[in-house]
Amino acid sequence: MTNLIIEKLLARSKRTDMPNFAPGDTIRVHVKIKEGDKERLQAFEGVVISRSRGPQASFTVRKMSFGHGVERIFPINCKVIDKVDLLRSSKVRRAKLYYLRGLRGKAARLRDVETEKQQPARS
């Protein structure tokens, strides 16, 4: 009985406007910021380093800001998120990219999926 009620509540609050993204993708999250009685949008752009599944799913985005790594955890069904833009997809072989925390500069680059395509043979 309570399971049905919980499922109905979760289905009502579930978001359908989120793009499909995975760890390694670069995304821009537009977050609603409240300043007094005004509200504005602020973009947080970075690499998705982890994603959890389930009814209370969340994802972690990491970016470099003035030489310091900044990570932010966003719940998928959070009302603070206005929209999510998928900017770039990368090929990774891990589900959690926590090793990026220890890398800097060129070492922290990820290989884009678009550059993986074979170049046509010249004749």
Cα dihedral 85, 82, 6, 55, rounded to 10, equals 30
Place of tokens 């925390």: 101
Show pLDDT as tens, one digit a residue, over the chain (123 residues): 678 887 887 777 777 788 888 899 999 999 999 999 999 999 999 999 999 987 788 999 999 899 899 999 999 888 899 999 999 998 889 899 999 888 888 888 888 887 445 556 565
Q: Class for domain 15-92, per CATH?
A: mainly beta
Place of tokens 């406007």: 17
- How do the domains of the chain map onto residue ranges? 15-92
Tell me, yes or no, if the pTM score tops 0.85.
no
